[in-house]
């Protein structure tokens, strides 16, 4: 009932958070996340919430998510999924302050392409690696025991517009 929880999916620890309640360092959600990450035993971690920490979309970066991103970064998380902006964007692995960190950083995907009218990008945020606007689509993630692969498929064609793979930390 709190809007945040976690579960294990194969080799992955999946954390679902909410960007619509307090997320600051002293918040109940941050305390819960800290404990959840400390007790997690999975090699790979994926987190998801609505408002993106980083975005080239019209809403831009959401600085309020910095404390939770910092906890995920320090806890060795690999991937963050978010939406809110009505576009697709993939970021290089980053720390909580937007610094590129290919060794320990968290890769974020913004996928707001599920039905609302697509919107154009407002610019290009730092460390943005791929951007697709003006179309609906889905992100296909394939999670393995040591990494993940992604493929953004546009609708209705199902044509791949972005694809790649990476290993977990």
pLDDT tens, per residue, the chain with 169 residues: 889 999 999 999 999 999 999 999 999 999 999 999 999 999 999 999 999 999 999 998 999 999 999 999 999 999 999 999 999 999 999 999 999 999 999 999 999 999 888 999 999 999 999 999 999 999 999 999 999 999 999 998 899 999 999 999 9
- Say what the pLDDT of residue 48 is: 98
DSSP structure class, residue 91: E
- Say what the pLDDT of residue 1 is: 82
Indicate the length of the chain as a whole number: 169
In this structure, the number of other CB atoms found within 10 A of the CB of residue 125 comes to 19
- Would strands 44-48 and 79-82 be described as parallel, antiparallel, or unpaired? parallel
Q: Quick one: tokens of 125?
A: 């945020």
With contact defined as beta carbons under 8 Å apart, do 129 and 114 qualify? no
Q: What is the CA radius of gyration of the chain?
A: 15
With contact defined as beta carbons under 8 Å apart, do 56 and 125 qualify? yes
- Say what the pLDDT of residue 93 is: 98
């Amino acid at each position: 009932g709190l809007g945040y929880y976690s579960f294990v999916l194969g080799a992955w620890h999946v954390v679902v958070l909410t960007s619509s309640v307090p997320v600051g360092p002293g918040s109940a959600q941050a305390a819960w996340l800290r404990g959840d990450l400390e007790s997690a035993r999975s090699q790979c971690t994926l987190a998801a919430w609505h408002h993106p920490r980083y975005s080239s979309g019209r809403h831009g970066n959401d600085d309020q998510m910095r404390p939770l991103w910092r906890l995920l970064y320090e806890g060795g998380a690999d991937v963050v999924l978010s939406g809110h902006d009505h576009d697709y964007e993939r970021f290089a692995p980053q720390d909580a302050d937007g610094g590129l960190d290919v060794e320990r950083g968290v890769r974020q995907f913004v996928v707001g392409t599920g039905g609302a009218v697509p919107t154009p990008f407002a610019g290009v945020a730092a460390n943005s690696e791929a951007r697709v606007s003006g179309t609906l689509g889905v992100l296909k993630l394939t999670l393995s025991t040591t990494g993940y692969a992604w493929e953004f498929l546009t609708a209705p064609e199902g044509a791949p517009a972005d694809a790649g793979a990476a290993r977990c930390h």
